Amino acid sequence: MSEDPRRRVPRTDVLLRDPRLVAASERLGPAAVKASVSEAQERARRAEIAPERVADAAVAALPETATSLRRVLNATGVVLHTNLGRAALSAAAVAAVTTAAGATDVELDLTTGRRARRGRGALEALAAAVPDAEAVHVVNNGAAALVLATVTLARGREIVISRGELVEIGDGFRIPDLLLSAGARLREVGTTNRTTLADYEQAVGPDTALVLKVHPSNFFVTGFTSAVPVDALATLDLPVVVDIGSGLLEPHPRLPDEPDARTCLQQGAALVTASGDKLLGGPQCGLLLGRHDLVEQLRRHPLARALRVDKLTLAALEATLRGPQTPTAAALAASYDGLRQRADAIAARLNETGIDAYAVDSEASVGGGGAPDVVLTSAAVSLPATMAESLRVGRTSVVGRVHADRCLLDLLAVDPRDDTLLVEAVVAEDEQRT
């Protein structure tokens, strides 16, 4: 009788001495390596792989890092895709995070040896980027910025807000619920589509703490509409808090209708709140910009401690503000001609391997709750729709979109330096399918 092939499956202790798996244990931890080895051994026992291939299979199945999060090539055509983490950090920001991962001077003055203001470099960079703000502060996300402003300035009092700005910001979270949870009372004015200055004037009373203007960033209303601009609200002799949402710090030529912090402050806003991981192109955080007395009140409120950002965020934010162009800015500045040339080149390389691919024009969007009415002209590589899933779950994850029974890989949010990686991912998945 021939020997049972299962007897030839290498023992665990022998496999774990493989230099590749030893190195992987140092990188990923022993538990992950042992699990991969066990799975490869089981595959050999089921005769799915040869016993002598167990070590290779275990190595091949290991993740690149110790986190379950996977890198994704964003070929959806949505620059700030919420499900993909919104803004991709610049190389400078990534390097800053690596630096900040160890011991840092986040709250220490190395010259004097004494405690210093936490994140002073990031705050100085933010103040320099928005010179119209008398003071700045950073919390852990955009919603936190609005909550901190509400708790500090309007707890137990009224906030006047237009009915057309009582928006839902995603995943079931709504602005009115957020404000009420912070202890404020809402005084709604106007209608869904039209609000006038007179509506605000009639609502303001002795119990009014502030006027809140919220940019409805994830939808737009057209037709018989009106809204009151910031400079008109500033005549009400009350603090005007403006939640611009998307984090645009100054006007952008491609997004003419998107509110920005500089303009709002120049028009008389007392406080501007925004997110850092949207059009600013930085890490998730909430920005508070405005009058010195108000920002100082917010900074000293007990809740500010619970909402503070960590050293990694501070490092990434500073590098985003001081460093080179962010991937978000690069995507918004990309020309159609350049995108189409890339799509043509990628399609030609894929054709050489026999893959049904060709370049097409595409319509992309900002995403992340910004400029919902703006269509960004782009270009994409068109593939058979059946490739969408395999590319998504492949070794190199590529997330596109299916349109008209084709899988489109839009290049607007794909770094040009990743074009070769994208080609290799498509080729690899095509070979797997065949």
Q: Does any domain span residue 405?
A: yes
- Both 256 and 350 in one domain: the answer is no
pLDDT for position 434: 66
Residues 97-120 have a mean pLDDT of 95
- Both 232 and 345 in one domain: the answer is no
Which residue(s) pair with 388 in the sheet? none
**pLDDT at 104 > cutoff 50:** yes
Residue in the structure block whose two tokens are 């949505």: 78
pLDDT for position 2: 54
- 17-65: per-residue pLDDT in tens? 999 999 999 999 999 999 999 999 999 999 899 999 999 999 999 988 8
Q: Does any domain span residue 26?
A: yes
Residue in the structure block whose two tokens are 């997004």: 255
- Both 56 and 132 in one domain: the answer is no
Give the closest residue to 145 by CA, choosing from 243, 267, 11, 44: 243
CA distance 189 to 272: 21
CA distance 423 to 75: 12
**Domain of residue 429, CATH code:** 3.90.1150.180
- The structural domain count of the chain equals 3
Q: How confident is the model at residue 3 (pLDDT cuts 50, 70, 90)?
A: low
pLDDT for position 1: 45
- Both 142 and 286 in one domain: the answer is yes
- 387-413: per-residue pLDDT in tens? 999 999 998 999 999 999 999 999 999
Measured N-to-C along each axis, helices 54-61 and 19-28 cross at an angle, to the nearest 10 degrees, of 20
Among 296, 324, 352, give the residue marking a domain's end: 324
Q: Does any domain span residue 338?
A: yes
Give the closest residue to 126 by CA, choosing from 250, 253, 289, 260: 289
Pairing assessment for the beta strands 185-189 and 135-139 based on DSSP bridges: unpaired
pLDDT for position 387: 95
Please tell me which residue, 175 or 7, carries the higher pLDDT value: 175
Q: Are 317 and 118 in contact (CB under 8 A)?
A: no
- Both 77 and 106 in one domain: the answer is no
Instruction: Name residue 239's amino acid.
Output: P
Q: Dig out the tokens for 215 from the structure.
A: 């940019």
For 170, the 3-state DSSP assignment is strand
Q: Does any domain span residue 2?
A: no
- Both 238 and 118 in one domain: the answer is yes
Q: How confident is the model at residue 370 (pLDDT cuts 50, 70, 90)?
A: confident
Q: Dig out the tokens for 46 from the structure.
A: 């089921």
Q: What is the rounded average pLDDT for all residues in the chain?
A: 94
- Both 300 and 393 in one domain: the answer is no
Q: Does any domain span residue 48?
A: yes
Residues 10-19 have a mean pLDDT of 94
- 298-321: per-residue pLDDT in tens? 999 999 999 999 999 999 999 999
pLDDT for position 341: 98
Please tell me which residue, 5 or 286, carries the higher pLDDT value: 286
Alpha-carbon torsion (174, 179, 180, 186), positive or negative: negative
DSSP state of 4: P
- Both 18 and 142 in one domain: the answer is no
**pLDDT at 378 > cutoff 60:** yes
The residue range of the domain holding 152 is 91-324
For 248, the 3-state DSSP assignment is coil
Alpha-carbon torsion (376, 377, 383, 386), positive or negative: positive
- Both 315 and 362 in one domain: the answer is no
- Both 95 and 78 in one domain: the answer is no
- 63-103: per-residue pLDDT in tens? 888 988 999 999 999 999 999 999 999 999 999 999 999 99
CA distance 403 to 360: 12
- Both 267 and 349 in one domain: the answer is no
Q: Are 326 and 282 in contact (CB under 8 A)?
A: yes
170: number of Cβ within 10 Å: 12
For 59, the enclosing helix (H) or strand (E) is: helix 54-61
Give the closest residue to 373 by CA, choosing from 173, 264, 228, 216: 216
Q: Does any domain span residue 4?
A: no
Among 306, 324, 342, give the residue marking a domain's end: 324
pLDDT for position 23: 95
**pLDDT at 429 > cutoff 50:** yes
Q: Does any domain span residue 23?
A: yes
**pLDDT at 354 > cutoff 80:** yes
- 162-208: per-residue pLDDT in tens? 999 888 877 778 889 999 999 999 999 999 899 999 999 999 999 99
Q: Dig out the tokens for 306 from the structure.
A: 């619970």
**Domain of residue 129, CATH code:** 3.40.640.10
- 262-296: per-residue pLDDT in tens? 999 999 999 999 999 999 999 999 999 999 999 99
- Both 125 and 214 in one domain: the answer is yes
Among 289, 324, 359, give the residue marking a domain's end: 324
Residues 236-256 have a mean pLDDT of 94
Q: Does any domain span residue 5?
A: no
Indicate yes or no: pTM above 0.95.
Answer: no
DSSP character string of 271-321: EEEEESSSTT-S-S-EEEEE-HHHHHHHHHSHHHHHT---HHHHHHHHHHH
